[in-house]
Amino acid sequence: MSNLAQIGVYGLGTMGSALALNMADNGFDVAVTNRETDWIDDFIKEGDGLSGTLTGHKTLEDFIAGIQAPRTILFMIPSGAPMDAMIETVMPLLSKGDTIIDGGNADFHLTRRRSALLAEKDLHFVGMGVSGGENGARHGPSMMVGGTADSWSRLKPIASAIAAKFEGDPCVDHLGPDGAGHFVKTVHNGIEYADMEMIAEAYKLLRYGAGWSAADIGKLMTEWDAGALKSYLVEITGKTLQETDPKTGKPVVDIILDRAGQKGTGRWTVIEAIKMGQSASAIEGAVAARAWSAEKATRVAGAKIIGDDREQLDLSATDLHDALMAARILGYAQGFRILTAAAAEFDWPLDYARIAEIWRAGCIIRSALLDDISDAFRQGTPEGQLYLAPSMVEKLNDTIPALRRVCIAAIGGGYSVPALFGALAFYDTMRQSRGTADVIQMQRDYFGHHGFERVDAEGAHHGPWWD
Ligand code: 6PG
C-alpha cells in the first residue's frame, strides 16, 4: 500500500478545509497545503480521529509529491488572477494525466480557457461548482462537475462519497466538458438570487403591507417549509425571522442594513442569458433588486423627495404561499432555459433531469419542487420548456391566480416586487401566441428599412411607407 494521498486540497479557507475534512471523514487520505503555511498544523489537528489521514505539506513541491499519480488536486482559492498564477506555478510540477480542479465560483469562460491550456500539456482541468456553504462542504455539498470523462472517472468515487445524498443518490455528477460544471453552478446561483428575492418580497408585503410581525411571518414560513414550498431557503428565512437581537430586543431582521452585496454569479447568469439572446426576468428582477439595494443613500433621498407612500394591503397568507410557488416554478424554468441555450451554444450534453436531481440535497436551492422537476424532465417537456410540462402546468394553473392577485395588490399599493412580477410577465408573455413584436417590426421597418416577415407569405417584406 502506498502512503501517498488519494487527493490533494490546496487552500484551507472555509470551503477548502471543510471539503478536506469531509474527505477524511469518508476514509480518504488527503494531502493538504495552504499559502499561509502556519495554518496547516492547526488544521491537521482538527482532522484527528477521522477515518482518513490528513497530511500537511509546507511546500508546493512536497504537496504534489505526496499525492498518488495520476494526481487529482482540488484548488479552493479565488478563481480570478490567483487561479491563473497558481496554474502557471503548478503546471511544471505536474505529470501527464494529472487533474487540477477549481472548486470556486469561477466564470465558466475562464474555465474553458484553462481547460484548453492544460489539455495542450496532457493535463486535465475540472471546473467544479460546489454549493451548500461551509456546512454543506463539511457534511455533504451538491457538486456540479465539468471536465474530461477521464478526470471524472478518478474524481467520482471521492466526490460521490462526500456529496449530499438524496434518498441515497449522491448529489454530484459529471455534467459535460470544460466549463459545463461552472456554468450550471452559475445558473444555480441565478435561481438562488431569484428564490431569495421572491421570499424577501413575500416578507416585505406581509410585514409592511399587511402589518404582520417579523416573528409571525417567520412562523408562517416555517409552516410553509412543512408543505409544498419545502426548501432550504424558506426554512432558514422562517427560522431567522423569529430571532431577536440581544442588544436591542428588536427582531434581528430590523437591525440589518437593507444593502446586499453580490459576488457576481447572479449577474453572470443574466449577462450570459442576454448574450445568448435569452432573458430571465425573474432572475433579472432579483439582480436588479440587489443592485438597487446597494444605493441606500439614493433611496433615502428618493423617499424624502418623492415620498414613500404605500397603502395597507389586504393579503391572504394562502395567496402569498401560492404566489411564491408559481414564481418559484417560473424562476427554475428560466434557469433551465438558460442551460438549454448554453447546451446548444457550447455543445454540452446537459441532462436537465439529472441537474435537478443533484440539486435536491446539499445545495442552497434544494427544495421539494426539484424532485417533481426532475420527473417532469424525465417524462418530456413540450418545446423543451419546464413550465409546459403537464405536472408544472397543473401546479401553475392552481397558483398563478394568487401570483396575479399578489402582484396586483403590490403594484396597486406602491410596493416593488421585481422578481415576482418578472416571473408573471414571463408567464403571460409565453402563453400569448401573438405578442408585441408586430409593432416593433413595423417601427424597425419604418425607421431603418429592416423588413419584416408576413403572416401570410414567405420572405422579407416592407411596409407601404417604402413604396
Ligand atoms: C452556494 C452559494 C455560494 C455563495 C455564492 C453567492 O451555492 O453555496 O451560492 O456559492 O453564497 O457565492 O454569493 P453572492 O450572494 O455574494 O453572490
CA–centroid distance, 285 to ligand 1, in Å, is 17
Q: 143 in helix, strand or coil?
A: strand
Other beta carbons within 10 Å of 312: 10
Looking only at the bridges linking them, the beta strands covering 452-453 and 460-461 are antiparallel
Q: Which cell numbers hold the place of 91? A: 503546471
User: Half-sphere exposure of 328 toward its Cβ, with a 13 Å CA cutoff?
Assistant: 28
Please give the number of the atom of ligand 1 that sits closest to the Cα of 136. Answer: 8
pLDDT given at position 2: 65
DSSP string, 145-160: EES-HHHHHHHHHHHH
pLDDT given at position 1: 47
pLDDT given at position 3: 85
Which CATH homologous superfamily contains domain 186-430? N-(1-d-carboxylethyl)-l-norvaline Dehydrogenase; domain 2 (1.10.1040.10)
Q: Report the alpha-carbon distance of residue 201 to residue 285 in Å, rounded.
A: 11
Residue 197: active-site member:
no
Indicate which residue's Cα is closest to atom 9 of ligand 1: 189
pLDDT along the chain (467 residues), means of 10: 88 97 98 96 94 96 97 95 96 97 97 98 98 97 98 98 98 98 98 98 98 98 98 98 98 97 94 96 98 97 97 97 98 98 98 98 98 98 97 98 98 98 98 96 98 97 97
Indicate which residue's Cα is closest to atom 7 of ligand 1: 131
Please give the number of the atom of ligand 1 that sits closest to the Cα of 133. Answer: 8
Q: Report the alpha-carbon distance of residue 426 to residue 239 in Å, rounded.
A: 31
Please give the number of the atom of ligand 1 that sits closest to the Cα of 141. Answer: 8
Q: Report the alpha-carbon distance of residue 373 to residue 447 in Å, rounded.
A: 45
Residue of 121, 156, 192, 275 marked catalytic: 192
Domain boundaries, the chain: 7-178, 186-430, 437-466
Q: Could you tell which of 128, 188, 189 is best to mutate to test the pocket of ligand 1, judged by most ligand atoms within 8 Å of the CB?
A: 189
CA–centroid distance, 302 to ligand 1, in Å, is 30
Kindly give the residue spans of alpha helices, DSSP state H, lying in 32-107.
40-46, 60-65, 81-90
Residue of 185, 201, 357, 395 marked catalytic: 185
Q: Report the alpha-carbon distance of residue 78 to residue 16 in Å, rounded.
A: 11
Residue 9 has φ and ψ, to the nearest 5°, of -125, 120
Q: Report the alpha-carbon distance of residue 196 to residue 283 in Å, rounded.
A: 10
CA–centroid distance, 419 to ligand 1, in Å, is 18
Q: Could you tell which of 192, 193, 196 is best to mutate to test the pocket of ligand 1, judged by most ligand atoms within 8 Å of the CB?
A: 192
CA–centroid distance, 165 to ligand 1, in Å, is 21
Residues in contact with ligand 1 by the CB-under-6-Å rule are: 105, 131-133, 189, 192, 261-263, 265-266, 363-364
Q: Report the alpha-carbon distance of residue 381 to residue 353 in Å, rounded.
A: 11
Indicate which residue's Cα is closest to atom 8 of ligand 1: 131
Task: Please state the separation of Cα 90 from the chain's center in Å.
Answer: 30
CA–centroid distance, 192 to ligand 1, in Å, is 8
Q: Let me know: does 219 contact 179? Beta carbons within 8 Å.
A: no
Indicate which residue's Cα is closest to atom 1 of ligand 1: 131
Q: Report the alpha-carbon distance of residue 404 to residue 330 in Å, rounded.
A: 13
CA–centroid distance, 14 to ligand 1, in Å, is 13
Query: Residues near 286 by Cβ (< 8 Å), separated by ≥ 6?
Result: 193, 194, 196, 197, 198, 266, 418, 419, 422
Annotation: CATH topology of 7-178 = Rossmann fold (3.40.50)
CA–centroid distance, 103 to ligand 1, in Å, is 13
CA–centroid distance, 108 to ligand 1, in Å, is 15
Residue 239: active-site member:
no
Out of 1.20.5.320, 3.40.50.2000, 3.40.30.10, 3.40.50.2300, select the CATH number for domain 437-466.
1.20.5.320
Q: 271 in helix, strand or coil?
A: helix
Q: Could you tell which of 287, 364, 365, 367 is best to mutate to test the pocket of ligand 1, judged by most ligand atoms within 8 Å of the CB?
A: 364
Indicate which residue's Cα is closest to atom 13 of ligand 1: 263
Strands laid side by side in the 99-102 sheet: 54-56, 30-33, 7-10, 72-75, 99-102, 124-131, 142-146, 172-176
- Give residue 463's region: left, alpha or beta (phi > 0; psi -120 to 50): beta
Q: Report the alpha-carbon distance of residue 135 to residue 15 in Å, rounded.
A: 9
Please give the number of the atom of ligand 1 that sits closest to the Cα of 290. Answer: 15
Rg (CA), the chain: 25
Residue 145 has φ and ψ, to the nearest 5°, of -105, 130
DSSP string, 18-45: HHHHHHHHTT--EEEE-SSGGGHHHHHH
Q: Could you tell which of 139, 263, 287, 358 is best to mutate to test the pocket of ligand 1, judged by most ligand atoms within 8 Å of the CB?
A: 263
Please give the number of the atom of ligand 1 that sits closest to the Cα of 364. Answer: 7
